[in-house]
Amino acid sequence: MLAALPAGASWAHDLPALAILAGLAVLVVGADVLVRGAVWIALALGISRMAVGLTLVAMGTSMPELLVSFTAAHSGHSDIAMANVLGSNVANILLIIGVSAAIRAIHLKTDKLEFAYMLVATAMAGLPFVFSGRLDRPLAGAMVGMLVVFCTHLMRREQRRPRPPEHHERPKGGPVGWLQHLAFLGAGLVMLAYGAEWLVDGSVAVAKSMGLSDAIVGMTIVAVGTSLPELATSAVAAAKGHSEIAIGNVVGSNIFNVGAVLGIAGLLQPFAVDVAALDWLMIATVVSAVLLTLVMKTLHGVPRLVGVAFLVSYACYLAAEVARMPG
């Protein structure tokens, strides 16, 4: 998440204020369209909204992280992938869940499956910090394998479980309905990608005009930029009362970030991990994952006050990281 996003359109640099406004608008509309398509697909297939959030929505909104890490690995800068994944996972929990719960308290009883895999993924990401200081191909392959096992386990659970409570709302999955809502899903993902890029490009241009350093811009604006699709999608889902999509999107994204993003980067190019530079980021990743698991299991959701506490914690974390940066 600390990597720069792919170069955007020049107009965003020339008209940063317009790019920021356009990016925000496209993000909100794209998230609304994506949630609408995802919920319809879940109902039409007779599977839970949580499962769709954990898979289709999570993988789609994690595309910026995947593209950044894939590009970095291909160009010989695979070490960027670790910071990208860890930073995104912290933002997913503290920022995105915080915003979503602040908008509307999340009430949701969840199974152990998704949170167990999120903790396993977090532990796998931390192995290079404890042992070799490297992400080698065997560990990267294990990360990809973990993702495959998770998806398989999730689909088997969906086949065994009783129909979700909303099953009575199941729409008729005619060809027109499927075509329309698959188009919603695709259009939503495209809009999220473009909206995030415009917003980040415009914000970076404004920050540069104010004389902010590359390090601060990277840690704040660009860092949050790759998590904007998750933020927009979960916030809109929470506002509409689709808590399963909001939580599933975040938990699934965290699993996908390790299993696919970090795993693919490590398979393409094994790399050394800068433990000294990323140690606090790794700690924040572990703490945030454990914290979300405990909150969801004990409170069966995320109250507004806890959401605000998550946001304050994320702001303090960012401030501490920026303070640690060399000038």
Q: Residues 230-252: pLDDT tens digits?
A: 888 888 888 888 888 889 989 99
Which has more pLDDT, 24 or 125?
A: 125
Residue 7 reports pLDDT greater than 50: no
Closest CA to 4 of 192, 194, 218: 218
- In the chain, how many domains are there? 1
**pLDDT recorded at residue 5:** 41
- Cα–Cα distance measured from residue 296 to residue 309, given in angstroms and rounded to the nearest whole number: 15
The tokens describing 269, both together, are 């190019």
Q: What is the pLDDT of residues 166-223, one digit of tens each?
A: 444 566 667 888 899 889 988 988 887 788 778 777 777 777 787 765 545 555 665 6
Helix 243-256 vs helix 228-239: angle between axes, to the nearest 10 degrees?
Answer: 160
The answer to the question of residue 183 being in a domain is: no
**pLDDT recorded at residue 292:** 96
Q: What is the CATH number of the domain that holds 146?
A: 1.20.1420.30
The tokens describing 26, both together, are 């496209």
Q: What is the mean pLDDT of residues 298-319?
A: 94
Closest CA to 97 of 323, 307, 269, 313: 307
- Cα–Cα distance measured from residue 79 to residue 66, given in angstroms and rounded to the nearest whole number: 14
Residue 164 reports pLDDT greater than 60: no
The answer to the question of residue 134 being in a domain is: yes
- Amino acid 132 reads S
Q: What is the pLDDT of residues 251-282, one digit of tens each?
A: 999 999 999 889 988 888 888 888 887 888 89
Cβ–Cβ < 8 Å for 89, 278: no
Residue 124 reports pLDDT greater than 90: yes
**pLDDT recorded at residue 6:** 42
Q: What is the mean pLDDT of residues 11-25?
A: 82
CA 82 to chain centre: 14
Task: State the residue range of the domain holding 302.
Answer: 48-162+211-324
* Per-residue CA distances from 233 to 116, 138, 189, 236 (Å): 23, 34, 10, 5
When pLDDT is cut at 50, 70 and 90, the band that residue 4 belongs to is very low
- Cα–Cα distance measured from residue 66 to residue 229, given in angstroms and rounded to the nearest whole number: 13
The answer to the question of residue 97 being in a domain is: yes
Which segment of 100-104, 150-154, 225-229, 317-321 scores lowest on mean pLDDT? 225-229
Which segment of 11-15, 27-31, 322-326 scores lowest on mean pLDDT? 322-326
Q: What is the pLDDT of residues 47-100, one digit of tens each?
A: 787 888 888 788 777 777 776 666 666 666 656 668 778 888 999 999 999 999
**pLDDT recorded at residue 2:** 39
The answer to the question of residue 37 being in a domain is: no
The answer to the question of residue 318 being in a domain is: yes
> Pairing between strand 301-302 and 106-107?
antiparallel
Residue 140 reports pLDDT greater than 90: yes
The answer to the question of residue 191 being in a domain is: no
Percent helix, percent strand, percent coil in the chain, to nearest 5:
80, 0, 15
Residue ranges with strand state E in the chain: 106-107, 134-135, 271-272, 301-302
The answer to the question of residue 168 being in a domain is: no
The answer to the question of residue 53 being in a domain is: yes
